[in-house]
A and B are shown apart, each in its own frame.
Chain A
Amino acid sequence: MKLKTFSVPVVALLLAGSLTAQTMTRYEAQPGSKMKIEGTSTVHDWTVESGIIGGSVEVDAAFPAEPDAKAAPGKVNVRVQTALPVRSLKSGTKAMDDVMHEAMKMTAHPKIEYRLTEMTLKEPASGPVLNFETKGELTLAGATNTISMPVTVDRSEKGKLKFRGTTSVKMTSFGIKPPAPSLGLGLIRTGDDVKLTFEWKTALPAKTL
């Protein structure tokens, strides 16, 4: 009897605690983000960029989002869903944009999407920038591959998280044939390897700040 009366508030407390742990805080994508794709070709290296990385990140209460929050290394509970319109990728010349957009099968697959599946804090959280190892699914030109990459999270500004990362992928692994535009009479061929670099700014929605 005593045990029972005692256990009700404990269970309630436990429940409440787990509910809080499950409540995710949502950060939304902000302008000023940048995605850069760098590649090579037989004539010169090339770069395309986009200022649009949409989507959101959700972190649980244990995530050290606050500038001075502490956390031990290990897996963190984070959900990330991002999308980038292929047409927003620009090279600076229209002719090259057309070649790139066609190679990426833009008409059928207008978006590049990324979904985080695993995120691990590599060292104890301290200082403004945290180092993570991530795994996620990158969907490009209709093909999805799992990619791993180190990602840093800059939490120095309150209410904001800035993600930075770099990884290399092969065009062919996404079913993309490295373009050899007819414009270059077939003499210009792009290399299979491309480097993706992103800086993704997120912030708490204005009303919750």
Chain B
Amino acid sequence: MNPQDSSDFNRRDFLKGTSLATLMAAMGGVPLRAEDAKPAADAPKKASSPPVNCAVIGCGLRGREILNTLAVMPNAPVVAVCDHYAPFLNRAKTAAPKAEGYGDYKKLLANQAVQAVLIATPTHQHREITEAALQAGKHVYLEAPLAHSLDDARAIARAAQAALKSNFQAGLQMRSDPQRHFLLQFIRSGAAGKAVSARAQWHKKESWRRAAPSPEREQELNWRLSSATSNGLIAEVGLHQLDVLGWFLKARPVAVTGFGGVLHWSDGRDVPDTIQAVFEFPGGTLLSYDATLANSFDADYEMIYGTDSAVMIRANKAWMFKEVDSPLLGWEVYARKDEFYKETGIALVANATKIVAQGDKPVEDAPYANTSLSYALEAFISNTYVVLSGVEDFVASFNPNDTAALKEYLAGLAKSKLPAAGWPEGYEATVIAIKANEAILKKQRITFEKEWFQV
């Protein structure tokens, strides 16, 4: 196919198609997809920016997920890994064979070859490591929630704000996900009408308890199950979903009421295995959240209910469910449709829009097939390079001690960065989750106070 004829592709494909299936598909409405504007197939996949030497601190499940994601990126060599628990460190070294192993993160931070650190330790250990990493001049990707307590979260946000020469990214990976950015525009444009309520859930049947060879290690490994170290489901899981919904609604909740308890996994834990929370937004919009470790029905998704349609988001897919009296948007006539019991979901395919087909942005072979973590890490590496090259260029040309001018120069580079959560988003999401957990444990309504959000 001649790529220049791309606009003609569907029609020609249809004319060439001889099978009944093609005919049926064409008559039923052709989904608008990114394939319409595929770039030349022989175009090599290039790194989006020059390499940045990475180190991962905390090599449990999440840390190894990060390692595996970095491993397939062309510009994120992992030069060091750290975990004080030897078996985890060994597994990390298998995932990153060229990396130097450290039992002590301070020694890792002293390694000058390390430019960026990705911190995936238990939440309550974030503060000390993050502060030290920023102090050592490293760029930091910190898993969300930022911290276990408000004080720690604020200290981290302050350190990130003060570290002018470091790129800090909070692990709110959805903020880098192109599917979410597409939906953000769709929802903010008012295409679903006025949002009156929202809902999200996360259902899984699993204990969260993990086995370990010794009682000490068992306790350490299961930090999520103790309220002394964990804010439970709302913080460790819900925070990501709540952040996306608040972002879409362009609002911060004014109050939260919560409930929860240990209803199934009565193994001595004091962190609820089943929770519900209702968030009140300005103007009265309600967001209800429920999560459980005792039932897996319908897994996890987020919903926004608008006066014209409801939008359902499941991982990298989304659908719109229209009201009968809603205005015709046009494109939905041709869009793919999926049946959900008695409802018809119109697929919200990000690349179906004209903007992408015109080549304003690179078109993926399989749109948004990557995990949101991989988009977040791609943004982290790319943005880190923007900051570090910006600092290098500035220092090489001007007075390096002119911090005000450097700050202004770096701020001017913001447009060259890929979308990602910074410390303000990370801090706000963490505050909301911490307070929501407080409401859940106390079975109370808590009004969010302005000063909690001030860094």
Asked if residues B359 and A183 are in contact (CB atoms below 8 Å), the reply is yes
Asked if residues B43 and A94 are in contact (CB atoms below 8 Å), the reply is no
**Among residues 90 to 106 in chain A, which have CB atoms less than 8 Å away from a CB atom of chain B?**
90, 92-95, 97-98
Q: Of the candidates B37, B40, B394, B402, which one forms a contact with A52 in the assembled complex, judged by CB atoms under 8 Å apart? A: B394
Asked if residues B393 and A29 are in contact (CB atoms below 8 Å), the reply is no
Contact size range, A: 20 to 34
Q: Is B214 an interface residue (CB 8 A)?
A: no
Asked if residues B413 and A29 are in contact (CB atoms below 8 Å), the reply is no
Asked if residues A31 and B6 are in contact (CB atoms below 8 Å), the reply is no
Give Cα A94 to B46, complex, Å. 13
**Among residues 65 to 86 in chain B, which have CB atoms less than 8 Å away from a CB atom of chain A?**
none
Known: A31-B406, A92-B415. A183 touches B362 (CB 8 A): yes
**Among residues 244 to 267 in chain B, which have CB atoms less than 8 Å away from a CB atom of chain A?**
none
Q: Is A55 an interface residue (CB 8 A)?
A: yes
Interface SS of chain A: helix, strand, loop or mixed? mixed
Nearest neighbor of B404 in chain A, beta-carbon distance: A31
Asked if residues B408 and A31 are in contact (CB atoms below 8 Å), the reply is yes
State which of A81-89, A120-128, A137-145 sits at the interface with chain B. Answer: A81-89
State which of A6-14, A156-164, A184-192 sits at the interface with chain B. Answer: A184-192
Q: Is A108 an interface residue (CB 8 A)?
A: no
Known: A32-B405, A54-B397, A54-B398. A88 touches B390 (CB 8 A): yes
Q: Is B190 an interface residue (CB 8 A)?
A: no
Asked if residues A29 and B398 are in contact (CB atoms below 8 Å), the reply is yes
Q: Of the candidates B4, B382, B394, B413, which one forms a contact with A185 in the assembled complex, judged by CB atoms under 8 Å apart? A: B4
Q: A28-68 interface mask toward B, CB cutoff 8 Å, 1 = contact, 0 = none? A: 11111000000000000000000111110000000000000
Q: Is B418 an interface residue (CB 8 A)?
A: yes
Q: B383-410 interface mask toward A, CB cutoff 8 Å, 1 = contact, 0 = none? A: 0000001100110111100100110110
Chain A residues with CB under 8 Å of B40's CB are: 182
Q: Is B51 an interface residue (CB 8 A)?
A: no
Q: Is A1 an interface residue (CB 8 A)?
A: no
Q: Of the candidates A54, A183, A187, which one forms a contact with B396 in the assembled complex, judged by CB atoms under 8 Å apart? A: A54
Nearest neighbor of B6 in chain A, beta-carbon distance: A185
Q: Is B412 an interface residue (CB 8 A)?
A: yes
Q: Of the candidates A31, A85, A94, A97, which one forms a contact with B398 in the assembled complex, judged by CB atoms under 8 Å apart? A: A31
Starting from the known contacts A85-B389, A185-B359, 10 additional A-B residue pairs (CB-CB under 8 Å) come to A30-B398, A32-B405, A51-B412, A52-B397, A90-B413, A92-B416, A94-B48, A182-B40, A183-B359, A186-B3
6 contacts between A and B (CB under 8 A): A31-B408, A51-B412, A54-B396, A54-B398, A94-B416, A183-B359
